Structure 1
Protein backbone atom coordinates (compact mmCIF):
# COMPACT_ATOMS: atom_id res chain seq x y z
CA UNK A 1 0.00 0.00 0.00
CA UNK A 2 1.16 3.53 -0.72
CA UNK A 3 2.02 6.28 1.73
CA UNK A 4 -1.10 8.17 0.68
CA UNK A 5 -3.25 5.10 1.34
CA UNK A 6 -1.79 4.82 4.83
CA UNK A 7 -2.26 8.53 5.51
CA UNK A 8 -5.85 8.68 4.27
CA UNK A 9 -6.97 5.40 5.85
CA UNK A 10 -5.37 6.00 9.25
CA UNK A 11 -6.44 9.64 9.47
CA UNK A 12 -10.08 8.95 8.62
CA UNK A 13 -10.30 5.69 10.57
CA UNK A 14 -8.74 7.14 13.73
CA UNK A 15 -10.86 10.29 13.47
CA UNK A 16 -14.04 8.19 13.39
CA UNK A 17 -12.73 6.01 16.22
CA UNK A 18 -12.22 9.05 18.46
CA UNK A 19 -15.42 10.77 17.31
CA UNK A 20 -17.55 7.79 18.35
CA UNK A 21 -15.47 6.81 21.39
CA UNK A 22 -15.14 10.32 22.73
CA UNK A 23 -18.75 10.88 21.74
CA UNK A 24 -20.03 8.17 24.05
CA UNK A 25 -17.98 9.65 26.91
CA UNK A 26 -19.50 13.06 26.21
CA UNK A 27 -22.99 11.57 25.99
CA UNK A 28 -22.65 9.89 29.38
CA UNK A 29 -20.89 12.80 31.11
CA UNK A 30 -22.41 16.08 29.99
CA UNK A 31 -25.49 17.75 31.42
CA UNK A 32 -28.37 18.18 28.99
CA UNK A 33 -27.30 15.01 27.15
CA UNK A 34 -30.03 12.43 26.66
CA UNK A 35 -27.56 9.69 27.64
CA UNK A 36 -26.37 11.38 30.86
CA UNK A 37 -25.34 8.83 33.51
CA UNK A 38 -25.81 5.86 31.17
CA UNK A 39 -22.80 4.30 32.85
CA UNK A 40 -19.72 2.16 32.23
CA UNK A 41 -21.48 -0.44 30.07
CA UNK A 42 -22.50 2.27 27.61
CA UNK A 43 -18.93 3.54 27.49
CA UNK A 44 -17.31 0.14 26.95
CA UNK A 45 -19.74 -0.90 24.21
CA UNK A 46 -19.55 2.57 22.67
CA UNK A 47 -15.78 2.28 22.36
CA UNK A 48 -16.12 -1.23 20.96
CA UNK A 49 -18.49 0.00 18.24
CA UNK A 50 -16.12 2.92 17.62
CA UNK A 51 -13.28 0.48 16.93
CA UNK A 52 -15.56 -1.60 14.71
CA UNK A 53 -16.59 1.40 12.60
CA UNK A 54 -13.07 2.81 12.28
CA UNK A 55 -11.70 -0.60 11.31
CA UNK A 56 -14.39 -1.12 8.67
CA UNK A 57 -13.63 2.28 7.14
CA UNK A 58 -9.84 1.95 7.08
CA UNK A 59 -9.32 -1.81 6.78
CA UNK A 60 -9.15 -2.02 3.02
CA UNK A 61 -7.12 1.18 2.67
CA UNK A 62 -4.41 1.19 5.33
CA UNK A 63 -4.92 -2.04 7.27
CA UNK A 64 -6.76 -0.18 10.05
CA UNK A 65 -4.04 -0.05 12.68
CA UNK A 66 -5.60 3.10 14.23
CA UNK A 67 -3.23 2.69 17.16
CA UNK A 68 0.56 3.20 17.45
CA UNK A 69 0.77 0.20 19.79
CA UNK A 70 -0.65 -1.98 17.01
CA UNK A 71 1.67 -0.41 14.43
CA UNK A 72 4.75 -0.97 16.61
CA UNK A 73 3.65 -4.52 17.41
CA UNK A 74 3.24 -5.32 13.73
CA UNK A 75 6.59 -3.72 12.88
CA UNK A 76 8.37 -5.79 15.55
CA UNK A 77 6.61 -8.89 14.24
CA UNK A 78 7.66 -8.06 10.69
CA UNK A 79 4.25 -7.41 9.16
CA UNK A 80 4.72 -3.64 8.78
CA UNK A 81 7.78 -1.96 7.26
CA UNK A 82 9.62 0.26 9.72
CA UNK A 83 9.83 2.91 7.01
CA UNK A 84 6.02 3.15 7.09
CA UNK A 85 5.81 3.53 10.87
CA UNK A 86 6.23 7.35 10.97
CA UNK A 87 3.41 7.74 8.42
CA UNK A 88 1.13 5.52 10.48
CA UNK A 89 1.90 7.32 13.73
CA UNK A 90 1.59 10.81 12.32
CA UNK A 91 -1.72 10.15 10.59
CA UNK A 92 -3.11 8.41 13.67
CA UNK A 93 -2.27 11.41 15.85
CA UNK A 94 -3.79 13.80 13.32
CA UNK A 95 -6.93 11.68 13.07
CA UNK A 96 -7.28 11.52 16.85
CA UNK A 97 -7.11 15.31 17.09
CA UNK A 98 -9.66 15.74 14.31
CA UNK A 99 -12.00 13.28 16.04
CA UNK A 100 -11.71 15.16 19.35
CA UNK A 101 -12.56 18.46 17.67
CA UNK A 102 -15.61 16.82 16.08
CA UNK A 103 -16.77 15.60 19.51
CA UNK A 104 -16.57 19.17 20.78
CA UNK A 105 -18.49 20.48 17.75
CA UNK A 106 -21.18 17.80 18.11
CA UNK A 107 -21.71 18.48 21.82
CA UNK A 108 -20.95 22.19 21.77
CA UNK A 109 -24.15 23.22 23.54
CA UNK A 110 -23.80 20.49 26.15
CA UNK A 111 -20.19 21.49 26.86
CA UNK A 112 -21.29 25.09 27.41
CA UNK A 113 -24.21 24.09 29.65
CA UNK A 114 -22.08 21.67 31.67
CA UNK A 115 -19.12 23.97 32.22
CA UNK A 116 -21.20 27.00 33.15
CA UNK A 117 -23.41 25.11 35.58
CA UNK A 118 -22.90 26.44 39.15
CA UNK A 119 -22.69 22.90 40.49
CA UNK A 120 -19.68 22.20 38.25
CA UNK A 121 -18.04 25.55 38.80
CA UNK A 122 -18.27 25.23 42.58
CA UNK A 123 -17.32 21.56 42.77
CA UNK A 124 -14.08 20.94 44.66
CA UNK A 125 -14.05 17.16 44.20
CA UNK A 126 -16.09 14.41 42.60
CA UNK A 127 -16.06 12.33 39.49
CA UNK A 128 -17.31 14.76 36.83
CA UNK A 129 -15.85 13.87 33.47
CA UNK A 130 -14.90 10.43 34.81
CA UNK A 131 -11.87 11.89 36.58
CA UNK A 132 -11.28 11.72 40.32
CA UNK A 133 -10.55 15.37 41.05
CA UNK A 134 -9.33 14.61 44.56
CA UNK A 135 -6.76 12.15 43.23
CA UNK A 136 -5.96 14.31 40.20
CA UNK A 137 -6.39 17.97 41.22
CA UNK A 138 -5.02 19.27 37.91
CA UNK A 139 -7.67 17.46 35.85
CA UNK A 140 -10.59 19.48 34.55
CA UNK A 141 -14.26 18.53 34.85
CA UNK A 142 -14.57 17.33 31.23
CA UNK A 143 -11.06 15.97 30.68
CA UNK A 144 -12.39 12.41 30.91
CA UNK A 145 -14.29 13.00 27.67
CA UNK A 146 -10.99 13.61 25.90
CA UNK A 147 -8.48 11.42 27.71
CA UNK A 148 -8.03 8.89 30.48
CA UNK A 149 -7.18 9.24 34.16
CA UNK A 150 -6.55 6.84 37.04
CA UNK A 151 -8.94 6.22 39.89
CA UNK A 152 -5.94 5.63 42.19
CA UNK A 153 -2.86 7.61 41.20
CA UNK A 154 -0.01 5.11 41.45
CA UNK A 155 2.55 5.39 38.68
CA UNK A 156 3.70 1.76 38.79
CA UNK A 157 0.20 0.30 38.94
CA UNK A 158 -1.18 2.66 36.29
CA UNK A 159 1.68 1.87 33.91
CA UNK A 160 1.41 -1.89 34.46
CA UNK A 161 -2.35 -1.78 33.92
CA UNK A 162 -1.90 -0.10 30.53
CA UNK A 163 0.88 -2.53 29.57
CA UNK A 164 -1.22 -5.59 30.43
CA UNK A 165 -4.37 -4.34 28.73
CA UNK A 166 -2.55 -3.35 25.54
CA UNK A 167 -0.66 -6.64 25.44
CA UNK A 168 -3.99 -8.46 25.40
CA UNK A 169 -5.29 -6.23 22.60
CA UNK A 170 -2.25 -6.52 20.34
CA UNK A 171 -1.90 -10.26 20.93
CA UNK A 172 -5.52 -10.70 19.89
CA UNK A 173 -4.85 -8.73 16.70
CA UNK A 174 -1.62 -10.56 15.87
CA UNK A 175 -3.25 -13.95 16.25
CA UNK A 176 -5.83 -12.93 13.65
CA UNK A 177 -3.05 -12.34 11.13
CA UNK A 178 -3.73 -8.65 10.60
CA UNK A 179 -0.54 -8.40 8.62
CA UNK A 180 -1.20 -11.33 6.28
CA UNK A 181 -1.07 -10.00 2.75
CA UNK A 182 -1.57 -6.41 3.91
CA UNK A 183 -5.32 -6.72 3.56
CA UNK A 184 -6.31 -5.41 6.95
CA UNK A 185 -8.50 -7.01 9.54
CA UNK A 186 -11.38 -7.95 7.30
CA UNK A 187 -15.01 -8.08 8.39
CA UNK A 188 -14.68 -10.86 10.95
CA UNK A 189 -11.36 -9.59 12.29
CA UNK A 190 -12.76 -6.11 12.86
CA UNK A 191 -15.70 -7.57 14.77
CA UNK A 192 -13.46 -9.77 16.91
CA UNK A 193 -11.15 -6.84 17.69
CA UNK A 194 -14.11 -4.67 18.66
CA UNK A 195 -15.34 -7.37 21.05
CA UNK A 196 -11.84 -7.69 22.52
CA UNK A 197 -11.87 -3.93 23.20
CA UNK A 198 -15.24 -4.26 24.94
CA UNK A 199 -13.86 -7.14 27.01
CA UNK A 200 -10.77 -5.15 27.99
CA UNK A 201 -12.94 -2.22 29.02
CA UNK A 202 -15.21 -4.37 31.15
CA UNK A 203 -12.43 -6.39 32.77
CA UNK A 204 -9.32 -4.20 32.83
CA UNK A 205 -10.64 -0.66 32.35
CA UNK A 206 -11.48 0.13 35.96
CA UNK A 207 -8.08 1.33 37.21
CA UNK A 208 -7.09 3.77 34.43
CA UNK A 209 -9.93 4.03 31.92
CA UNK A 210 -8.00 1.79 29.48
CA UNK A 211 -6.29 4.04 26.98
CA UNK A 212 -4.61 1.04 25.23
CA UNK A 213 -3.80 3.48 22.42
CA UNK A 214 -1.30 6.36 22.73
CA UNK A 215 -3.00 8.70 20.24
CA UNK A 216 -6.45 7.96 21.66
CA UNK A 217 -5.22 9.73 24.78
CA UNK A 218 -2.58 12.18 23.56
CA UNK A 219 -4.41 13.67 20.57
CA UNK A 220 -7.63 14.53 22.43
CA UNK A 221 -5.63 15.73 25.46
CA UNK A 222 -3.84 18.23 23.21
CA UNK A 223 -7.20 19.33 21.81
CA UNK A 224 -8.60 19.73 25.35
CA UNK A 225 -5.70 22.02 26.20
CA UNK A 226 -6.37 24.18 23.11
CA UNK A 227 -10.17 24.37 22.95
CA UNK A 228 -11.89 27.53 24.24
CA UNK A 229 -13.90 25.69 26.90
CA UNK A 230 -15.02 27.81 29.89
CA UNK A 231 -13.86 26.59 33.31
CA UNK A 232 -12.30 23.53 31.69
CA UNK A 233 -9.45 23.18 34.19
CA UNK A 234 -6.12 21.54 33.50
CA UNK A 235 -5.21 18.77 31.09
CA UNK A 236 -3.27 16.72 33.69
CA UNK A 237 -0.02 16.58 31.72
CA UNK A 238 1.78 14.97 34.65
CA UNK A 239 -0.15 11.77 33.94
CA UNK A 240 -0.14 12.02 30.13
CA UNK A 241 3.02 9.97 29.56
CA UNK A 242 1.54 6.80 31.10
CA UNK A 243 -1.20 6.18 28.47
CA UNK A 244 1.46 6.77 25.80
CA UNK A 245 4.38 4.74 27.15
CA UNK A 246 2.31 1.91 28.65
CA UNK A 247 0.54 0.94 25.40
CA UNK A 248 3.79 1.19 23.41
CA UNK A 249 5.44 -1.21 25.85
CA UNK A 250 2.40 -3.48 25.69
CA UNK A 251 2.38 -3.55 21.89
CA UNK A 252 6.09 -4.38 21.77
CA UNK A 253 5.72 -7.06 24.45
CA UNK A 254 2.80 -8.64 22.59
CA UNK A 255 4.90 -8.90 19.42
CA UNK A 256 7.75 -10.61 21.26
CA UNK A 257 5.36 -13.04 22.95
CA UNK A 258 3.72 -13.79 19.61
CA UNK A 259 7.08 -14.41 17.90
CA UNK A 260 8.30 -16.56 20.78
CA UNK A 261 5.30 -18.85 21.06
Structure 2
Protein backbone atom coordinates (compact mmCIF):
# COMPACT_ATOMS: atom_id res chain seq x y z
CA UNK A 1 0.00 0.00 0.00
CA UNK A 2 1.16 3.50 -0.84
CA UNK A 3 2.18 5.53 2.25
CA UNK A 4 1.60 8.82 0.44
CA UNK A 5 -2.05 7.94 -0.15
CA UNK A 6 -2.52 7.14 3.52
CA UNK A 7 -0.82 10.39 4.57
CA UNK A 8 -3.31 12.15 2.29
CA UNK A 9 -6.30 10.26 3.71
CA UNK A 10 -5.20 10.64 7.32
CA UNK A 11 -4.57 14.36 6.98
CA UNK A 12 -7.88 14.87 5.17
CA UNK A 13 -9.69 13.16 8.05
CA UNK A 14 -7.74 15.25 10.55
CA UNK A 15 -8.81 18.52 8.94
CA UNK A 16 -12.37 17.42 8.19
CA UNK A 17 -13.05 16.68 11.84
CA UNK A 18 -10.77 19.38 13.26
CA UNK A 19 -11.88 22.36 11.21
CA UNK A 20 -15.35 20.85 11.05
CA UNK A 21 -15.80 21.53 14.75
CA UNK A 22 -14.54 25.09 14.30
CA UNK A 23 -17.16 25.59 11.58
CA UNK A 24 -19.82 24.16 13.88
CA UNK A 25 -18.85 26.59 16.64
CA UNK A 26 -18.26 29.87 14.79
CA UNK A 27 -20.47 29.87 11.70
CA UNK A 28 -23.98 31.30 11.76
CA UNK A 29 -27.04 29.03 12.09
CA UNK A 30 -25.34 25.85 13.28
CA UNK A 31 -26.42 23.66 16.19
CA UNK A 32 -23.02 23.75 17.88
CA UNK A 33 -22.52 27.45 18.50
CA UNK A 34 -22.21 27.08 22.28
CA UNK A 35 -19.44 24.46 22.30
CA UNK A 36 -16.64 27.01 22.71
CA UNK A 37 -12.93 26.34 23.22
CA UNK A 38 -13.52 23.17 25.23
CA UNK A 39 -15.48 21.63 22.39
CA UNK A 40 -12.87 22.67 19.84
CA UNK A 41 -9.97 21.21 21.84
CA UNK A 42 -11.79 17.94 22.51
CA UNK A 43 -12.82 17.53 18.88
CA UNK A 44 -9.31 18.23 17.60
CA UNK A 45 -8.09 15.44 19.85
CA UNK A 46 -10.69 13.12 18.31
CA UNK A 47 -9.65 14.32 14.85
CA UNK A 48 -6.04 13.39 15.57
CA UNK A 49 -7.10 10.01 16.91
CA UNK A 50 -9.04 9.19 13.73
CA UNK A 51 -6.34 10.46 11.36
CA UNK A 52 -3.57 8.57 13.15
CA UNK A 53 -5.57 5.36 13.54
CA UNK A 54 -6.46 5.26 9.82
CA UNK A 55 -2.98 5.89 8.46
CA UNK A 56 -0.62 4.62 11.15
CA UNK A 57 0.04 1.08 9.98
CA UNK A 58 0.82 2.14 6.40
CA UNK A 59 2.45 5.59 6.51
CA UNK A 60 3.38 5.96 10.18
CA UNK A 61 0.73 8.69 10.52
CA UNK A 62 2.92 11.77 10.50
CA UNK A 63 0.08 13.97 9.16
CA UNK A 64 2.34 16.93 9.84
CA UNK A 65 5.53 18.20 8.12
CA UNK A 66 6.95 19.12 11.53
CA UNK A 67 6.75 15.48 12.61
CA UNK A 68 8.18 14.31 9.29
CA UNK A 69 11.17 16.64 9.40
CA UNK A 70 11.73 15.92 13.10
CA UNK A 71 11.92 12.18 12.45
CA UNK A 72 14.20 12.73 9.44
CA UNK A 73 16.59 15.00 11.36
CA UNK A 74 16.81 12.41 14.13
CA UNK A 75 17.71 9.72 11.58
CA UNK A 76 14.43 7.88 12.15
CA UNK A 77 12.88 8.52 8.73
CA UNK A 78 14.25 8.51 5.19
CA UNK A 79 14.89 11.94 3.66
CA UNK A 80 13.90 10.56 0.25
CA UNK A 81 10.31 10.23 1.49
CA UNK A 82 10.10 13.72 2.99
CA UNK A 83 8.99 15.69 -0.12
CA UNK A 84 6.24 13.18 -0.93
CA UNK A 85 4.98 13.27 2.64
CA UNK A 86 4.92 17.07 2.63
CA UNK A 87 2.92 17.18 -0.59
CA UNK A 88 0.50 14.48 0.56
CA UNK A 89 -0.10 16.27 3.85
CA UNK A 90 -0.84 19.64 2.24
CA UNK A 91 -3.12 18.10 -0.39
CA UNK A 92 -4.90 16.07 2.29
CA UNK A 93 -5.46 19.22 4.34
CA UNK A 94 -6.90 20.95 1.28
CA UNK A 95 -9.29 18.05 0.69
CA UNK A 96 -10.36 17.99 4.32
CA UNK A 97 -11.33 21.66 4.27
CA UNK A 98 -13.09 21.28 0.95
CA UNK A 99 -15.30 18.69 2.67
CA UNK A 100 -15.87 21.07 5.60
CA UNK A 101 -17.04 23.73 3.15
CA UNK A 102 -19.39 21.31 1.40
CA UNK A 103 -20.82 20.18 4.75
CA UNK A 104 -21.49 23.72 5.97
CA UNK A 105 -22.24 25.39 2.63
CA UNK A 106 -25.46 27.07 3.78
CA UNK A 107 -23.88 28.22 7.04
CA UNK A 108 -21.00 29.77 5.12
CA UNK A 109 -23.54 31.55 2.91
CA UNK A 110 -25.26 33.00 5.99
CA UNK A 111 -22.09 34.09 7.84
CA UNK A 112 -21.05 37.70 7.29
CA UNK A 113 -18.00 37.86 9.58
CA UNK A 114 -14.84 37.33 7.47
CA UNK A 115 -12.75 36.46 10.53
CA UNK A 116 -15.17 33.70 11.52
CA UNK A 117 -15.01 32.27 8.01
CA UNK A 118 -11.21 32.35 7.97
CA UNK A 119 -11.10 30.66 11.39
CA UNK A 120 -12.72 27.56 9.86
CA UNK A 121 -9.75 27.27 7.51
CA UNK A 122 -6.58 28.58 9.13
CA UNK A 123 -5.26 29.94 12.40
CA UNK A 124 -4.87 33.51 13.57
CA UNK A 125 -3.49 35.04 16.77
CA UNK A 126 -5.55 36.37 19.65
CA UNK A 127 -3.02 39.21 19.99
CA UNK A 128 -1.04 39.84 16.80
CA UNK A 129 2.66 40.06 17.51
CA UNK A 130 4.80 38.21 14.96
CA UNK A 131 7.70 37.46 17.31
CA UNK A 132 5.63 36.10 20.18
CA UNK A 133 3.16 34.34 17.89
CA UNK A 134 6.17 32.60 16.34
CA UNK A 135 7.55 31.66 19.76
CA UNK A 136 4.17 30.20 20.74
CA UNK A 137 4.08 27.98 17.64
CA UNK A 138 7.67 26.85 18.22
CA UNK A 139 6.93 25.86 21.81
CA UNK A 140 3.65 24.13 20.99
CA UNK A 141 5.18 22.13 18.16
CA UNK A 142 8.25 21.24 20.16
CA UNK A 143 5.91 19.81 22.80
CA UNK A 144 4.04 17.80 20.17
CA UNK A 145 7.03 16.37 18.31
CA UNK A 146 9.10 15.68 21.43
CA UNK A 147 6.16 13.77 22.90
CA UNK A 148 5.58 11.89 19.66
CA UNK A 149 9.19 10.67 19.64
CA UNK A 150 8.58 8.75 22.84
CA UNK A 151 5.03 7.67 22.04
CA UNK A 152 6.34 6.21 18.77
CA UNK A 153 8.98 4.14 20.55
CA UNK A 154 11.88 6.50 20.04
CA UNK A 155 13.77 5.14 23.01
CA UNK A 156 15.01 2.31 20.80
CA UNK A 157 18.29 3.75 19.53
CA UNK A 158 19.29 3.42 15.88
CA UNK A 159 15.96 1.98 14.82
CA UNK A 160 13.40 3.64 12.55
CA UNK A 161 10.27 4.74 14.37
CA UNK A 162 6.72 5.48 13.31
CA UNK A 163 3.33 5.75 14.92
CA UNK A 164 1.22 2.62 15.01
CA UNK A 165 -2.54 2.41 15.43
CA UNK A 166 -2.15 1.79 19.18
CA UNK A 167 -0.44 5.18 19.45
CA UNK A 168 -3.53 7.03 18.21
CA UNK A 169 -4.98 7.62 21.67
CA UNK A 170 -1.84 8.96 23.41
CA UNK A 171 -1.10 11.28 20.47
CA UNK A 172 -4.70 12.48 20.53
CA UNK A 173 -4.45 13.19 24.25
CA UNK A 174 -1.17 15.04 23.70
CA UNK A 175 -2.74 17.30 21.06
CA UNK A 176 -5.77 17.82 23.27
CA UNK A 177 -3.49 18.88 26.12
CA UNK A 178 -1.61 21.29 23.87
CA UNK A 179 -4.92 22.82 22.82
CA UNK A 180 -6.09 23.33 26.39
CA UNK A 181 -2.72 24.50 27.72
CA UNK A 182 -0.89 26.28 24.89
CA UNK A 183 -3.50 26.93 22.22
CA UNK A 184 -4.89 30.25 23.37
CA UNK A 185 -2.39 32.71 21.86
CA UNK A 186 -2.41 31.47 18.24
CA UNK A 187 -5.01 28.72 17.89
CA UNK A 188 -2.20 26.10 17.93
CA UNK A 189 -1.54 25.30 14.30
CA UNK A 190 1.49 23.16 15.35
CA UNK A 191 1.37 21.76 11.81
CA UNK A 192 2.34 23.62 8.61
CA UNK A 193 0.04 21.50 6.43
CA UNK A 194 -2.90 22.06 8.76
CA UNK A 195 -2.63 25.81 8.18
CA UNK A 196 -1.25 26.07 4.63
CA UNK A 197 -3.58 23.64 2.84
CA UNK A 198 -6.78 25.14 4.26
CA UNK A 199 -5.53 28.69 3.71
CA UNK A 200 -5.03 27.85 0.04
CA UNK A 201 -8.61 26.53 -0.06
CA UNK A 202 -9.87 29.72 1.58
CA UNK A 203 -8.19 31.68 -1.19
CA UNK A 204 -9.63 29.46 -3.94
CA UNK A 205 -13.20 28.71 -2.84
CA UNK A 206 -16.11 31.00 -3.84
CA UNK A 207 -16.97 32.00 -0.27
CA UNK A 208 -19.31 34.90 0.39
CA UNK A 209 -17.88 37.59 2.71
CA UNK A 210 -14.62 35.71 3.04
CA UNK A 211 -12.28 38.70 3.12
CA UNK A 212 -8.52 38.23 2.88
CA UNK A 213 -6.69 34.96 3.48
CA UNK A 214 -4.15 36.79 5.71
CA UNK A 215 -1.04 35.59 3.92
CA UNK A 216 0.95 38.16 5.92
CA UNK A 217 0.55 35.89 8.94
CA UNK A 218 0.88 32.56 7.12
CA UNK A 219 4.65 32.21 7.52
CA UNK A 220 4.29 31.88 11.31
CA UNK A 221 2.24 28.65 11.38
CA UNK A 222 4.56 27.25 8.70
CA UNK A 223 8.05 28.16 9.90
CA UNK A 224 7.28 28.11 13.63
CA UNK A 225 6.21 24.45 13.65
CA UNK A 226 9.09 23.42 11.38
CA UNK A 227 11.56 25.03 13.80
CA UNK A 228 9.80 23.54 16.82
CA UNK A 229 9.88 20.06 15.31
CA UNK A 230 13.56 20.47 14.43
CA UNK A 231 14.46 21.58 17.96
CA UNK A 232 12.58 18.58 19.34
CA UNK A 233 14.69 16.28 17.15
CA UNK A 234 17.97 17.83 18.31
CA UNK A 235 16.95 17.68 21.98
CA UNK A 236 15.85 14.07 21.52
CA UNK A 237 19.24 13.18 20.05
CA UNK A 238 21.07 15.28 22.62
CA UNK A 239 19.69 13.33 25.58
CA UNK A 240 21.10 10.12 24.22
CA UNK A 241 18.58 8.57 21.85
Select 1:229's aligned residue among 168, 187, 207: 207
Worse overlay, 184-193 or 210-219: 184-193
CA deviations 1:189-234 (Å, max 9, x no partner) are: 2110100000000000000000000010010001001110111111
Select 1:61's aligned residue among 35, 58, 63: 58
Unpaired segments ≥5 residues, structure 2: none
Matched, 1:243 2:221: yes
Matched, 1:166 2:138: no
Match of 1:177 in 2: 152
In 1, distance between residues paired with 2:92 and 2:116?
A: 24
Worse overlay, 106-115 or 8-17: 106-115
Matches within 5 A, 1:65-214: 65-115=62-112, 120=113, 140-177=115-152, 184-214=162-192
- Structure 1 residues 204 and 110: alpha-carbon distance in aligned structure 2, compared to 1, 3 A threshold: same
Deviation at 1:178, TM superposition (A): 5.2
In 1, distance between residues paired with 2:166 and 2:236?
A: 21
Deviation at 1:79, TM superposition (A): 1.0
Contact 1:169–1:196, Cα closer than 8 Å, also in 2: yes
CA deviations 1:119-175 (Å, max 9, x no partner) are: x4xxxxxxxxxxxxxxxxxx6431011000001111110000000000000000001
In 2, distance between residues paired with 1:182 and 1:253?
A: 19
Select 2:20's aligned residue among 23, 45, 63: 23
In 2, distance between residues paired with 1:70 and 1:188?
A: 18
Contact 1:77–1:256, Cα closer than 8 Å, also in 2: yes
* Aligned-CA RMSD value: 1.5
Aligned residues: 236
In 2, distance between residues paired with 1:205 and 1:77?
A: 26
In 1, distance between residues paired with 2:153 and 2:55?
A: 13
